Chains A and B, each alone.
Chain A
Amino acid sequence: MEKGQHLPSHVQHPHADQPPSWSRRRVLGYSGALAGGAALGLPTLAACSSSSSGSSEPTGADAKADLVLSSWQIPADLVAYEKFATDYKQTHPNVTIKIQETPGGDFNQWFTTQLAGGSAPDIIRITWQQIGRYADNGGVIPLDEYVQGDYSADFQDAFWKAAQLDGSVHGIPQHTDTFATYYNKAILKNAGVTVPASLDQAWTLAQFKDVLVEVKKTTGKYGMVFGFGGPNTAYRWLPFLYMMGGKLLEDDNVTPAIDNEIGVKAIDWFASLYREELIPASNSIKGANDAATIKSFSTGDVGLMIYGDWIMTDVSKAIEPSKWDITYMPKDVTAASDLGGNLLAVSKSCKNPAVAADFIKFVCDSEHMKYFCETDLFLPVRKSLPADSLSFSKQSDQMAVFVEQATTIPAGMGTVETLPSFNAIQTVLADQLDLCFTGQQDAVKTAKAISDGIKDAVS
């Protein structure tokens, strides 16, 4: 099929008029999807043809819409989105996309209030941990009719699965982030510690603790800090549960699976870091704040910091990049790391979901995902963009480590963190783990309390 040719008119696909830069691969992809979909009698296709008679929203070059996209206020990201909006306007001259900032403070408070008033942004950049809940209560709408068939093929399976609720897609993954270990070169050298050379050579938890003890001797204060940042960030502990072979919920996504030997072991190992003063007491879940955490690292109070790629810029401002580097997360039975990153979703308040979905697909396509990740230092979620295909604008060596580490994000953890009830589950985690890490409750009681609390939360 030649570029720009219309699809047979008896199948009104929302993407009948594609911009000239439409690649051959996508053409085949869509038409193949249509054929395949028709053969399998997929409900999405039925929805598509019914919407062909009902909805007359054009999404091609003559689409007309005024949309708002809201993103976190990371200055570089806002610039990137502005660029995308301008580029999109080249081929869709009547579509204006305004880029707005999601205000600081509690996301849920802001977003649910906006939704209640019908003035939520049309396109919202949202985290994995929050999308489940808004998918469930209708805050973000299903996008199935816009992402049919082969569209998902290039997305890494774990992420595409996590973007669905009951088989229905509610957001398109734009990028991921993960945790890794920042280390202070001088301190580790003085402590006589060498960092793992590859992912399989990552420290085991036992080795990691030894490292922390040595580092503590060198700094005279503590060994490490961890990326907690308040009550909403307790979930960042979960990789330690999963790397020990444990899990938070059984496969039915309802029954707690933490009140057992592995669960207790995972909780206790982390709590021992506080007990043995390898990590500052102020770095507990509820009391932590980013500034203090980064400051501990930049002033040399600690030698290691387990945190995400997104704070590399802040860290570079606080301590010169030549003085620190990144290595892998510790591992145990298996490797695991934090599920970070964002999806782009369409909110209930959107009056023109077809165009909104189209713009989202534009931003999340290979070319733009690559640009976004390279410029703003994020991790891609497409199979066609492996680590070595990217050349990051800066800190490329460090980003390469993060890209590799991102392959260890446990799929099961991803499923749990995208459940609608995850906010409530997370609160339980925050409450109980904080009690444990501040020494007010032992690991056995904590595991049981988490289990009970989860049962309460999902009922």
Chain B
Amino acid sequence: MPSAETWAPATGTTVAGPAPSRGRSTNRVPAAAPWLFVTPSLLLFGVFAFAPIVVSVVLSFQDVQTFGGGEFVGVENYSDAMSKPLFWESVRNTVVFTLGTVPTSTLLGLLLAILLNRRLPGRGVIRSLYFLPMVVSGVAVSLIFAWMFNTDSGIVNATLSELGLPRVDWLTSPGWAMTTVILAVVWGRIGFCMVVYLAALQNINPSVLEAAQVDGAGRWGAFAGIVWPLLAPTTYMLVVLNIVFSLQAFDVIYVLTGGGPGFSTTVLVQYIFRSAFTDGKMGYASALGVMLVVVLLLLTALRNRLAKNLDEDS
């Protein structure tokens, strides 16, 4: 049986199933095989994930209370949404929030991973300190941050005062509220990104790095030329996941600010939530959800198209 070290590297691309282009194919892969592996997922997803989504899409074309019958209204929910200023405001806030959380946590995670990849005393403990926030439950996080950042009695402002710095209206000024919310979420997200990158870094051969630096590339050159490209797939996955998580962030923000002051931290999912449950308009809320998914899909498709073009160019 061939081992990993003896296969010929030149065989290249992934071969899935029969490869007619290769000519002699004595290996018949039963067509049913992939389906066998996928069926357990399909079953579970079908009942618990796809079915509710299909129902939601149907509801998005109806004017329906959260339970009980509804009437078909075509695309009225969609056009309604786009005519409401609060919809656009929540979209804007969501974009700002996502821009504030995704690059920050991803890059900080990367920085930490690189720094904590070296041999440092107690590095396992330090890594755990940065990972710990991910382990704390959402309820506690929101409450603690609300207390810590309270303008009058919070420990953060108290510390600033002690240090002779001016106090900040963390949660009470529209400008700072979004920053505070971003801080709270990034705090929980850094650990996740760090761990993902740490693992990715393990697969990069340090001697390759050393060789590059000996060649005169310098630390920065070695990073930019070798490490960063190798991490690209990890970065892709992290960015996608972080964007999705940020777009769905709701509980932490809601407990911290209730969407205020005013509307400054009202994000799209809060708008969906209140449409569905406070206003009781399930059809409208479903339409908002569909719009969110469509935009995400378009972004993904765009990114894939761009990546393909870049690949073709290079």
B280 near A438 with CB under 8 A, answer no
A285 near B260 with CB under 8 A, answer yes
Q: Is B274 an interface residue (CB 8 A)?
A: yes
Q: Is B169 an interface residue (CB 8 A)?
A: yes
Q: How far is the CA of A441 from the CA of B263 in the complex (A)?
A: 12
Residues of A within 8 A of B171 (CB): 282, 287
Q: Is A337 an interface residue (CB 8 A)?
A: no
B259 near A292 with CB under 8 A, answer no
Instruction: Tally the A-B contacts, defined by beta carbons under 8 Å.
Output: 104
Give residues of chain A (399-421) contacting chain B, Cβ–Cβ below 8 Å: none
Q: Is A231 an interface residue (CB 8 A)?
A: yes
Interface string of B5-39 (1 = CB under 8 A from A): 00000000000000000000000000000000000
B152 near A287 with CB under 8 A, answer no
Stretch in contact with the other chain, from B63-71, B195-203, B212-220: B63-71
Q: Is A299 an interface residue (CB 8 A)?
A: yes
Shortest distance from the beta carbon of A236 to any chain B beta carbon, whole Å: 14
A281 near B279 with CB under 8 A, answer no
Give residues of chain A (212-258) contacting chain B, Cβ–Cβ below 8 Å: 221-222, 230-232
Q: How far is the CA of A393 from the CA of B258 in the complex (A)?
A: 36
Q: How far is the CA of A338 from the CA of B66 in the complex (A)?
A: 29
Q: How far is the CA of A286 from the CA of B174 in the complex (A)?
A: 12
Q: How far is the CA of A382 from the CA of B60 in the complex (A)?
A: 46
Report the interface size for chain B: residues with CB under 8 A from the other chain: 31
Give residues of chain A (182-207) contacting chain B, Cβ–Cβ below 8 Å: none
In the complex, what residue of chain B is closest to A106 when comparing beta carbons? B277
Q: Is A424 an interface residue (CB 8 A)?
A: yes
Q: Is A115 an interface residue (CB 8 A)?
A: yes
Interface centre among A291, A292, A296, A427 (most CB of B within 10 A): A292
Q: Is A332 an interface residue (CB 8 A)?
A: no
Q: Provided the pairs A286-B258, A286-B260, A424-B279 are in contact, do residues A112 and B67 lie with their beta carbons within 8 angstroms?
A: yes
Q: How far is the CA of A301 from the CA of B153 in the complex (A)?
A: 9
Stretch in contact with the other chain, from B142-150, B228-236, B298-306: B142-150
Report the interface size for chain A: residues with CB under 8 A from the other chain: 40
Shortest distance from the beta carbon of A142 to any chain B beta carbon, whole Å: 16
Select B67's contact among A106, A115, A231, A286, beta carbons within 8 Å: A115
Q: Provided the pairs A109-B273, A116-B67 are in contact, do residues A282 and B150 lie with their beta carbons within 8 angstroms?
A: yes
Residues of A within 8 A of B263 (CB): 431, 435
In the complex, what residue of chain A is closest to B263 when comparing beta carbons? A431
Shortest distance from the beta carbon of A341 to any chain B beta carbon, whole Å: 21
Interface string of A77-113 (1 = CB under 8 A from B): 0000000000000000000000000000010110011
Q: Provided the pairs A282-B150, A282-B151 are in contact, do residues A435 and B262 lie with their beta carbons within 8 angstroms?
A: yes
A286 near B259 with CB under 8 A, answer yes
Interface string of A427-451 (1 = CB under 8 A from B): 1000100110010110000000000
Q: How far is the CA of A431 from the CA of B266 in the complex (A)?
A: 11
Q: Is A15 an interface residue (CB 8 A)?
A: no
Residues of B within 8 A of A232 (CB): 278
Q: Is A121 an interface residue (CB 8 A)?
A: no
Q: Provided the pairs A286-B260, A287-B258, A438-B172 are in contact, do residues A112 and B66 lie with their beta carbons within 8 angstroms?
A: yes
Q: Is B261 an interface residue (CB 8 A)?
A: yes
Q: How far is the CA of A423 from the CA of B257 in the complex (A)?
A: 20
Interface string of B278-310 (1 = CB under 8 A from A): 111000000000000000000000000000000
B260 near A434 with CB under 8 A, answer yes
Q: Provided the pairs A282-B150, A427-B279 are in contact, do residues A438 and B262 lie with their beta carbons within 8 angstroms?
A: yes
B260 near A287 with CB under 8 A, answer yes
Residues of B within 8 A of A438 (CB): 172, 174, 260-262
Shortest distance from the beta carbon of B68 to any chain A beta carbon, whole Å: 6
Residues of A within 8 A of B276 (CB): 109
B153 near A287 with CB under 8 A, answer no
Q: How far is the CA of A424 from the CA of B263 in the complex (A)?
A: 16
Q: How far is the CA of A295 from the CA of B154 in the complex (A)?
A: 11
B66 near A427 with CB under 8 A, answer no
Select A423's contact among B152, B177, B261, B278, beta carbons within 8 Å: B278
Interface string of B162-189 (1 = CB under 8 A from A): 0000000101101001000000000000
Q: Is A133 an interface residue (CB 8 A)?
A: yes
A108 near B153 with CB under 8 A, answer no
B259 near A137 with CB under 8 A, answer no
Q: How far is the CA of A292 from the CA of B171 in the complex (A)?
A: 13
Q: Provided the pairs A115-B67, A137-B68, A435-B262 are in contact, do residues A287 and B172 lie with their beta carbons within 8 angstroms?
A: yes
Q: How far is the CA of A296 from the CA of B273 in the complex (A)?
A: 31
Shortest distance from the beta carbon of A221 to any chain B beta carbon, whole Å: 7
Q: Is A280 an interface residue (CB 8 A)?
A: yes
Select A291's contact among B67, B147, B260, beta carbons within 8 Å: B147
In the complex, what residue of chain A is closest to B257 when comparing beta carbons? A287
Q: How far is the CA of A441 from the CA of B255 in the complex (A)?
A: 23
Q: Is A352 an interface residue (CB 8 A)?
A: no
Q: Is A71 an interface residue (CB 8 A)?
A: no
B146 near A289 with CB under 8 A, answer yes
A292 near B150 with CB under 8 A, answer yes
The 18 listed contacts between A and B (C-beta, < 8 Å) are A106-B277, A108-B278, A109-B273, A109-B277, A115-B66, A138-B68, A230-B258, A280-B151, A281-B151, A282-B172, A284-B172, A285-B258, A291-B147, A299-B153, A427-B278, A427-B279, A435-B262, A435-B263
Q: Which A residues are within 8 Å of any B CB, using their own CB?
A: 106, 108-109, 112-113, 115-116, 133, 137-139, 221-222, 230-232, 280-282, 284-289, 291-292, 295-296, 299, 301, 423-424, 427, 431, 434-435, 438, 440-441
Q: With A231-B260, A292-B150, A423-B278 given, can you name 19 additional A-B contacts, CB distance below 8 Å?
A: A106-B278, A108-B280, A115-B67, A137-B280, A231-B258, A231-B259, A280-B151, A280-B152, A281-B169, A282-B171, A284-B172, A285-B260, A286-B260, A291-B143, A291-B147, A423-B279, A427-B274, A438-B262, A440-B174
State the 10 A-B residue pairs at the shortest beta-carbon distance, nearest first. Answer: A286-B260, A286-B258, A116-B67, A438-B261, A281-B172, A112-B66, A108-B277, A109-B277, A435-B262, A231-B258
